[in-house]
Amino acid sequence: MAELKYYIIRRLATFIPTILGILLLVFIISHAIPANPARLWAGGEKAKPEVVEAIKKKYHLDKPYHIQFMLYLNDLIHGDWGQSPMTKRPVLEDLADYFPATFELALVSGILIMLIGIPLGLVSAFKRNTWIDHVVRILALVGVSMPVFWLAIILQWIFYYELDVFPATGRGISPSHVYTGLYLLDSILSLDWKAFIVNLQHIILPALTLAFAGIGVIARITRNSVLEVLSSDYIDFAEAKGLVGLQFYRHVVKNASIPVITVLGLQFGMLMAGAVITETIFAWPGIGSYTVNAISSLDYPAIMGSTLLIGLVFITVNLLVDIFYAIVDPRIRF
């Protein structure tokens, strides 16, 4: 396990160049847009020239790009993520408000993917080439190919307009105490069951929308990796040894889990990034809709900040997946 500790430290060190790369890319893409952000921030066409000048100075827009980037990095190292010219608040505070909503949505979607996708894949694998298998495979295909915006609207139409069982938009109500910003968790912690029910009702449709494609992907990956393990020699040998029940299936599950966890990790990153459309349709007050607003108003600090945060989550999840590998698979040593 000492090896594992050094591995984690080394992997954490590789975060730095990755983050720098992300920042540089986003900086170039956002600043490459031929626009006049200072005037936009100052209020548009009717903005007074002196206000525009003041803004340019404040945000260093009068300096060359590479200097701007260096200044941004310098602030970042000192813990200052900049101030949003649109909300007039520090970006970090904005993110602290919006990020938990997205994280909660991604978390619930991730749980749905696991709870629905993995069992579907298992059923499909163990009942191979039966009608159940065919149904699951078609569902998986549909799940992967269905456009998110279309699915979101269909779900709203069925469950809100027609059946009226779930609300169409919003995040619900704030629980009586906010500890983590994750409403569901906070409602449990503060024993506020009314808030828990309301928030659960609100999160179901967007979480399902977000999870749909992932469920299909995970079901397929689970099916394929279980089938591959079942056809391996060591499973033949395990049968020849007379292994039964848990003693038999632990060989199947452990070996099949490796590709499934890999894809789950990637999926979680996609959930964070892919929340933009879902959040917009369901008016979910998360980082996705915040970022969309930031982009449309050329809010550089907000764009940089939210990308940085999503990037950090993405690489952290990847690190967790790699640590999982190291624990499960003894062949992986670093």
Partner 1 sequence: MSELLRVEDLRVYFYTYAGVVKAVDGVSFTVRKGEVFSIVGETGCGKSVTARAITKLIKPPGRIVGGRVLFEGRDLLKLSEKEIRRIRGKDIAYIYQDPSSSLDPLYTSGYQIAETITVHNPGTKLKNALKKAIEILRDVAIPDPVKRARNYPHELSGGMKQRVVIGISVSNKPKLIIADEPTTSLDVTVQAQVLDLLQELRKKYGTTIMLITHNLGVVAEVSDRVMVMYAGKVVEIADVYTLFTNPLHPYTRGLLSAVPNPLEKIDEIKPIPGFVPDMINIPRGCRFRPRCSYATQRCLREPPLIEVEPGHLVSCWMYTGGDE
Q: How many chain residues touch partner 1 (CB under 8 A)?
A: 20
Give the whole-angstrom CA distance, residue 109 versus residue 121. 17
Q: Which amino acid is at 215?
A: I
Among residues 30, 68, 174, 232, the one that binds partner 1 under rule CB under 8 A: 232
- Measured from the Cβ of residue 65, the count of other Cβ atoms closer than 10 Å reads 12
Q: Is 255 in the site for partner 1 (CB under 8 A)?
A: yes
Could you tell me how many residues make up the chain? Answer: 334
Give the whole-angstrom CA distance, residue 305 versus residue 259. 32
Q: Is 234 in the site for partner 1 (CB under 8 A)?
A: yes
Q: Is 327 in the site for partner 1 (CB under 8 A)?
A: no
Give the whole-angstrom CA distance, residue 98 versus residue 181. 9
Q: Is 331 in the site for partner 1 (CB under 8 A)?
A: yes
Stretch that binds partner 1, among 88-96, 201-209, 234-242, 278-286 (CB under 8 A): 234-242
Among residues 208, 210, 238, 260, the one that binds partner 1 under rule CB under 8 A: 238
Decide whether 7 or 15 has the Cβ nearer to partner 1.
7
Among residues 227, 243, 312, 319, the one that binds partner 1 under rule CB under 8 A: 243
48 DSSP assignment: -
Torsions phi, psi for 90 (to 5 deg): -60, 140
CA distances from 19 to 22, 61, 154, 287 (A): 5, 23, 38, 19
Q: Is 244 in the site for partner 1 (CB under 8 A)?
A: yes
Tokens found for residue 190: 């503060």
Contacts (CB under 8 A) with partner 1, residues 175-204: none
Tokens found for residue 168: 């169409």
Stretch that binds partner 1, among 10-18, 31-39, 194-202, 240-248 (CB under 8 A): 240-248
User: Taking the alpha carbons of 102, 282, 114, 148 in that order, is the dihedral positive or negative?
Assistant: negative
Stretch that binds partner 1, among 21-29, 100-108, 251-259, 303-311 (CB under 8 A): 251-259
Q: Is 239 in the site for partner 1 (CB under 8 A)?
A: yes
Stretch that binds partner 1, among 1-9, 48-56, 232-240, 282-290 (CB under 8 A): 232-240
Q: Is 117 helix (H, G, I), strand (E, B) or coil?
A: helix
Decide whether 77 or 240 has the Cβ nearer to partner 1.
240
Q: Is 79 in the site for partner 1 (CB under 8 A)?
A: no
Give the whole-angstrom CA distance, residue 198 versus residue 46. 44
Q: Which of 295, 309, 299, 330 is nearest to 61 (CA)?
A: 299
Among residues 80, 90, 251, 297, the one that binds partner 1 under rule CB under 8 A: 251
Residues that bind partner 1 in the complex, under the rule CB under 8 A: 232-234, 236-244, 247, 251, 254-255, 328-331
